Amino acid sequence: MPEERPPLLEVKDVSRSYFEAGKEFKILERVRFDLAERDFVCIVGPSGSGKSTLLRIILGLDKPTTGEVRFEGQPLTPDNPRVAMVFQSFALFPWLTVEQNAELGLEARHDPLEARHAQARKFIEAVGLAGFENAYPRELSGGMKQRVGIARALAIEPVLLCMDEPFSSLDALTAQNLRDEILQLWSNPELPPKAVLIVTHSIEEAVYLADRVIVLSARPGRIVAELEIDLPRPRNRKEPEFFGWVDEIYSLIV
């Protein structure tokens, strides 16, 4: 059993509904979980389970109808520099170079010019994009774009890294490489982040990455199960135990 650690992130009974023409559409219902330092958590669910809405609420980009989210004991604001986000669509500014994109959070923090450049270059290098500092996103492949997205997130040295379907618009090989790189960054105590939260619809991806998987049901999204994946790392997708976990989660969703 791991020792008790104070929670980094507390999601407390979060519900979210949309109202249209007087009718209530429930997206999320009483979602509740904690996340501590050194955790690697994946939220899986079928499409329409409100996974992305949940992540937006966790980041403070959307408000829950009831319930609340706390980060380090405080209500979370979207611009909290200790939390960073990686987007499915990359969300890079097309008119900024790789380096300018990576500097975005630092610029918002009003870091001096030289410190900003140095910090951005450090993480551009860490994601393997050295030499592409002056390229524009349009000139890069999908995998490289997402590396920029990751560099931008890491540059502000977040404690918690949130990722919304980060690998689902990439080809299989690129996605696998990036997954391993995220695992490496997470396990490297020298580099951020301390904890990772990934939303995904791929069960295999969740079992491959996470030490805890939170399973959401289809509309409205409710937590069906919270599973500790105790497979040793690096994990092998061909082992029967791996398949066992995938099958178990699969049966929970269907």
Partner 1 sequence: MVAARKAFRWVALGLITLAAAFVIAFPETAGLALQLPLLALYSVARMFAAYVLSLVFAIAYGTTMATNRKAAVVLLPLLDILQSVPILGFFPAALIFFVTTFQGQPVGLEIAVVFLIFTSMSWNMAFGVYESVSTIPQDLVDAAKGFGVRDWLKFRRLVFPATVPKLVYNSMLSWSNGWFFLVASEIFTAFGSTYVRPGLGAFIADRGSAGDIAGIFLGLAVLAAVVVALDAVLWRPLSVWSERFRIETTGTGQPVPRVPLPYIRLTWLPRFVRPRRWVGTRLRPLATGYARLTVRMDRAASAHRRVIRTVRWVDLALFAVIFALVVVTGIVGLIGLLLRPHSPGVSEIPAATVRSLARLALAYGAALAWTIPAAVVLGRSPRASRLLTPVIEVSASLPATALLPLIIGFAIFLTPSSGTEAEVAAFLVALFAMQWYLLFNLIAGVRAIPGDLDEAARSFGLKGLAFWKRLIFPAIAPSLITGSITAWGAGWNALIVSEYIQFGRCGPSPCLYWTEGLGYLMDRATFGVPQLGLLPDGELLLLSILTMVLVVLAMNKLLWRPLFRRASARYRLEV
Out of 19, 21, 22, 110, point to the residue binding partner 1 (CB under 8 A). Answer: 110
Site mask, partner 1, residues 156-195, x = CB under 8 A?
x---------------------------------------
Q: In terms of CB distance, is 71 or 245 closer to partner 1?
A: 71
Residue 105 makes contact with partner 1 by CB under 8 A? yes
Least distance from C-beta 244 to partner 1, angstroms? 36
Helix 172-187 and helix 142-155: axis angle, to 10°? 20
Residues in the chain, total:
254
Residue 74 makes contact with partner 1 by CB under 8 A? no
Q: Which of 127, 204, 210, 197 is nearest to 166 (CA)?
A: 197
Residue 141 makes contact with partner 1 by CB under 8 A? yes
Given CA atoms 33, 90, 82, 74 in this order, what sign does their dihedral have? negative
Least distance from C-beta 151 to partner 1, angstroms? 12
Q: In terms of CB distance, is 88 or 217 closer to partner 1?
A: 88
Amino acid letter at 27?
Answer: I
Q: Which stretch binds partner 1 (CB under 8 A): 4-12, 36-44, 132-140, 170-178?
A: 132-140
Phi-psi region of 79 (alpha: psi -120 to 50; beta: other; left: phi over 0): alpha
Q: Which residue matches tokens 């937590």?
A: 223
Which residues of this protein are in contact with partner 1, per CB under 8 A? 56, 59, 61, 78-79, 81, 84-85, 87-89, 91-96, 104-105, 107-110, 112-113, 136, 138-142, 152, 156
